[in-house]
Structure 1
Amino acid sequence: MDVLDQLKDKYLGGVDAAADEAALEEIRLAALGKKGEISLKMRELGKMSPEEKQTFGKALNELKTQIDTALRVKKQALADAALELRLKDEWLDVTLPGRPRRSGTIHPVSQVTEEVIAIFADMGFSVGEGPQVEDDWHNFDALNIAPEHPARQEHDTFFMHRDASDDRPPHVLRTHTSPVQIRAMLEHGAPIRVIAPGRVYRMDMDMTHAPMFHQVEAMAIGKDISMANLKWVLEEFCKAFFEVDDVELRFRASHFPFTEPSAEVDIRCSWEGKQLKVGEGDSWMEILGSGMMHPKVLEAGGIDPKEWQGFAFGIGIDRLAMLKYGIPDLRAFFDSDLRWLKHYGFQPQDMPTIAGGLSR
């Protein structure tokens, strides 16, 4: 047993003196590894008599357990000491204010779209949606747009590719959201009040035009709807959107294939100090096109024009954003400039309601 006492003193003393985990690992291997002294002693048990094996084996197992326990306790003590030292060196004052986190903003186009939807929802209009890649019939034919119309030429519209052997008219990136109105009429019939906001595509690019922009078109169909109803809806929309008590609109005769009669709509405004003020001043600004729905368009939508009539109009959402929030260049809408987005963007709590006000 003197040998076991010597091993006990040797390794338990070594564990107590170990300064780090690397030293502990060396002791573990020397004592309990495959070629360690304790492991070699275990192999000698096979050469002993049953009586010696029982006595020596029990003592050897107890020593092995003692050394293993001492190693574990020492390892935990070293880890605790290292953590304590680290906490002293890397202390953190939890009372300090946290670092501010950058938050994104709502794009002006998204904001204005929600404003427009809120206003028309208050007037009983639902929201219609449709595909951005449209077929020729929904985008042109159903809207009474003649084959020779400039909108059906490649210099004005994005046409999708078709194989040379395919003689069907090519699909297009929709040039307006009017196809949504056709789909709404075919699905719901009359009477109906619906707006169709969304992306549209045309071959144009300058400070006030882009090849992809956003538009909202509105349509109302009933038994006795007239231009007077159209004028009232537009006046109420402009008062709510620009947040003024009164507006004055001017209707100028125009021509659109899908409305008859058709009218361009101007709004009285002032540019005093290069600041737009709606409802006052001596200037007029064109804001949208409108008119009574053409009988052929009603027929394409499955509605009898002898029984029903309605009005329609369309306006650019990007243009509304530019006018209301003083944004000078349409191209900046799509530059993904974080500085611009931070300046003109909106916080989530700024989302509009009629009761709470529409602007920030």
Structure 2
Amino acid sequence: MSGPNTNFDPVEVAVLDPRAIEDAVTSALGAVAAATSLDELKSLRPTHTGDRSPLAQANREIGALPPSAKAEAGKRVGQARGRVGQAFAARQVELEAERDERVLVEETQDLTVRVPRRPVGARHPVNLVSERVEDIFVSMGWEIAEGPEIESEWLNFDALNIGPDHPARQEADTFYVAPAGSGLVLRTHTSPVQVRTMLDREPPIYVLCPGKTFRTDDLDATHTPVFHQFEGLVVDEGVTMAHLRGTLDAFVQRLFGDGIVTRLRPNYFPFTEPSAEIDCQCWVCRGGSDAEVKACRSCGGTGWIELGGSGMVNRRVLRSAGIDPDRYTGFAFGLGIERSLMLRHGIADMHDIVEGDVRFSRQFGMEI
């Protein structure tokens, strides 16, 4: 049986060659010195101190050496690994100090500056538009009238000449309040406020009825099940369609700008007769040249924008409210606040209005 190989020279093992070990240390020290960030330094560790690094491979070869060679080879490899480890530690301290100094400069805060105790909010543009409209009509001598959002079917439909078979009374359009047969609905318009006003007071009547209304629409880019509208009502002696037209012209000029006019297109509504759709001259192209009108995106190249419905109060509606239709006449109109807001400011999606993101409201400031 042969004895141990006492003549084995560790230099003959390539990875244990002093020159190879020194080259590995030099390469590691150079890479460490060139690292400019902590992330870069971290990425260098597997290459120079990991299990597959040259010094780690050399350390594993020591176990195959004879006892007489292990001590010297172990000392040489251990010192080399120690130098590399110290270089990594020293460079990490330097880079951490540089990072901390940079953070102090880049992220410095002036603690003497006073900051608001509460985040700055904004009023919702629907409220701003509603108040703007109310101010316009109050300045014309009108009053503001309000009513409950849960209404009786009689006030919401029957008193307005909307019969039992009218499509608007179906559950596909109207929210009915449980239990079935309660006779209560979430109002589909603010017209019941007009009926309440006519029941409570004697003409002359000049009221604006703003408020929240409900219909069974899905929320999409142009519809919402909960929306706001305002309706106007005038009942007096000698009231004609000319008074309606003059009122609408005065209103749109105050809201959209001087020189804007309206036009009325014949239509049918159960609670007015005759009835008309209200169109407003486009406040962007103002019905200019043919080329300007065709290029206008606000009015779709027509020069006019549809606002809502209007007409002379139906004699049946006056009679149901206890007003003599042979002595008094009146007119009424209704416009959606969300629609006015979308038209006036080019808002394309109803979601922006209803989702309550304060960033949307801040665009309008405190006045519209």
| TM-score range normalised by the length of the shorter chain | 0.5 to 0.7
Residue type of the partner of 1:142? A
Query: Match of 1:216, SS?
Result: strand
Q: How does 1:61-140 map to 2 (within 5 A)?
A: 96-100=112-116, 101-140=118-157
Question: Aligned partners of 1:317 and 1:335: how far apart in 2?
Answer: 16
Check the 8 A contact 2:230/2:336 in 1, yes or no: yes
* Corresponding position: 1:303 with 2:323: yes
The 3-state SS of whatever aligns with 2:324 is: coil
The runs of 4+ residues in structure 1 deviating greater than 3 Å are: 270-277
Q: Distance in 1 between matches of 2:113 and 2:214?
A: 48
In structure 2, what residue type is equivalent to 1:177? T
**Contact 1:230–1:311 (CA under 8 A) maintained in structure 2:** yes
Distance in 1 (alpha carbons) for counterparts of 2:226 and 2:304: 27
| Superposition deviation, residue 96 in structure 1 | 2.6
Instruction: State the alpha-carbon separation in 1 of the partners of residues 164 and 302 from structure 2.
Output: 41
Higher relative contact order (CA 8 A, sep 6+): 1
Secondary structure in 1 aligned to 2:222? coil
Deviation at 1:95, TM superposition (A): 9.2
TM-score (norm 2): 0.64
What is residue 171 of structure 1 aligned with on the other side?
A: 184
Q: 1:210 aligned to 2:224?
A: yes
Q: In 2, distance between residues paired with 1:295 and 1:207?
A: 38
Q: How many residues align?
A: 249
Give the distance between the partners of 1:161 and 1:151, measured in 2 at CA.
18
Which one of 281, 292, 302 corresponds to residue 312 of structure 2?
Answer: 292
* Alignment partner of 1:222 out of 236, 250, 263: 236
Tell whether the 8 Å contact from 1:227 to 1:311 is kept in structure 2 after alignment: yes
Q: Are the counterparts in 2 of residues 136 and 172 from structure 1 also a CA contact under 8 Å?
A: yes
Give the one of 342, 346, 353 matched to 2:365: 346
CA distance in 1, matches of 2:140, 2:349: 31
Aligned amino acid, residue 255 of structure 1: Y
Superposed CA offset, 1:20-74 (max 9, x none): xxxxxxxxxxxxxxxxxxxxxxxxxxxxxxxxxxxxxxxxxxxxxxxxxxxxxxx
Check if 1:142 corresponds to 2:183. no
- Contact 1:107-1:346 at 8 Å conserved across structures: no
Please point out which of 177, 186, 189 is paired with 2:202.
189
CA distances 1:249-275 after superposition (whole Å, capped 9, x unpaired):
221110000000000111222566666
| Mapped contact 1:136–1:169 kept (Cα < 8 A) | no
**What's the counterpart of residue 239 of structure 1?**
253
Shift of 1:340: 1.8
CA shift for structure 1 position 169: 5.0
Counterpart Cα distance in 2 of 1:274 and 1:207: 21
Aligned to 1:200: 213
2:275 maps to 1:262: yes
CA contact (8 A) 2:121 2:358 kept: no
For residue 138 of structure 1, what is the amino acid of its counterpart? L
Distance, in Å, in 2 between the alignment partners of 1:245 and 1:316 is: 21
1:330 is aligned, of 350, 355, 361, to 350
Shift of 1:203: 1.1
Residue 283 in 1 paired to residue 300 in 2?
no
TM-score, reference length from structure 1: 0.65
Q: Could you tell me whether the CA contact under 8 Å between 2:253 and 2:261 is conserved in 1?
A: no
Matches of 1:295 and 1:121, distance apart in 2: 27
Percent pairwise identity: 45
Conserved in 2, the CA contact under 8 Å of 1:113 and 1:317? Answer: yes
1:314 to 331, 334, 339: 334
Tell me which moved more, 330-339 or 108-117: 330-339
2:173 is equivalent to residue 160 of structure 1: no
How far apart in 1 are the matches of 2:244 and 2:149? 27
Task: Note the residue ranges of structure 1 that are not aligned, 5 or more in a row.
Answer: 1-92, 351-358
8 A Cα contact 1:112 1:321, kept in partner: yes
What do you get for the CA RMSD once the two structures are aligned? 2.2
- Cα distance, 1:173–1:248 mapped onto 2, change above 3 Å: same
Could you tell me how far apart the structure 2 residues matched to 1:259 and 1:332 are? 34
* Partners of 1:218 and 1:312 within 8 A in 2: yes
1:222-267 deviation digits (Å, cap 9, x = unpaired): 101100000000000000001x221232211100000000001112
Contact 2:130/2:210, CA 8 A, preserved across alignment? yes
